[in-house]
Amino acid sequence: MTFTRLTELAHGGGCGCKLSPAVLRELLADRSASMPFSQLLVGTESSDDAAVWQVDDRTCVIATTDFFMPVVDDPYDFGRIAATNALSDVYAMGGKPIMALAILGMPLGKLDTGTVQKILKGGEAVCAEAGIPVAGGHSIDSAEPIYGLAAIGLCAPSEVRRNTGARAGDALILTKGIGIGVYSAAFRKVALPADAYEEMIASTTLLNRIGHELAKDDDVHGMTDVTGFGLLGHALEMARGSRVRIAIEQARVPLLAHTEALAQRGFVTGASRRNWESYGEGVTLPGDLPPWRRDVLTDPQTSGGLLIACAPARADEILRRIVDAGYPRAGIVGSVAAGDAGVDVV
């Protein structure tokens, strides 16, 4: 038995399935900010992308898990997107993945084994591109289809990059265009143009491997990947973690080609508005900002780009390096200043 639309089996899709920032804060409110393990360099204290354990003075282990429900109907593409998204957390911390474990939940009796195999093969293809094996995993019978990875990576202690590393004066670079949530909303309503679908797949299956290379540069101070909380949400996490004020220049934020037109037609996700309700008090907007643009800035990105804080004198050089590495929509989107932690859209 097969279904023509995989997304019809799920109430949401991609990183739009994430719990809202407000709910996560409530769930983690009683967690200790300081972990009683000296080797745990990064835990839950700053909402960073992955956990980091220092083995010795040469090696850190990076561990993360990420999974979600289908954002597209093609099972192979779904597997590729979910795997790319999961590995992004390792790259965002400055690491290089070394292996992954599959996380699989499938509604037995609603999907045939051939469809599930295509999902797994999609994930394996991305891991092969990253040069790592899918070395095992776990599967369950679930009400909705779920797929993702637990990923392990390595880096040197000096190469760990956190969302707390931004410094006053830094420039901010975003490596991918914004609009995946808008595209997914249009897709679910069968209103996404064919060329936009191709653009969405190209963006969501583009590995953020440049993060591992940039982490070797001392002038790259902080990184995070932009996923379910949208550009403003992840910028706010960086601002709060780094205790700085971040300015996002709305006109410089790269958008996927159809994002503006589709958002103006009302193709936005419920997650975009939940995001704003969760963290809007930490963001200032210009009075004339049109509602669609706010929706785009809070748009949940499935397998989005990296937000990078770097020394301003080298921002253009670092941007050229990113573009040359295969990220054509990368751009400088803002700056960092001293001040109360928060984000200003200008």
Q: Which residues are catalytic?
A: 15
Distance CA 87, CA 151 (A): 6
38, two tokens: 């000296």
Ordered DSSP codes for 228-267: TTHHHHHHHHHHHHHT-EEEE-GGGS-B-TTHHHHHHTT-
Which amino acid belongs to residue 157? P
Alpha carbon distances (Å) from 343 to 295, 306, 334: 16, 17, 10
β-sheet bridge partners, residue 141? 106
Distance CA 164, CA 82 (A): 26
Q: Is 34 exposed, middle or buried (0-12, 13-18, 19+ CB in 10 A)?
A: exposed
Length of the chain: 346
The answer to whether 41 and 52 have CB atoms below 8 angstroms apart is yes
* Other Cβ atoms closer than 10 A to 197: 17
Distance CA 47, CA 152 (A): 18
Strands of the 96-106 sheet, one edge to the other: 40-42, 51-54, 60-68, 146-155, 96-106, 134-141
167, two tokens: 């410094």
Distance CA 290, CA 6 (A): 34
The answer to whether 65 and 113 have CB atoms below 8 angstroms apart is no
| Phi and psi, residue 111, nearest 5° | -125, 135
- SS3 at position 173: strand
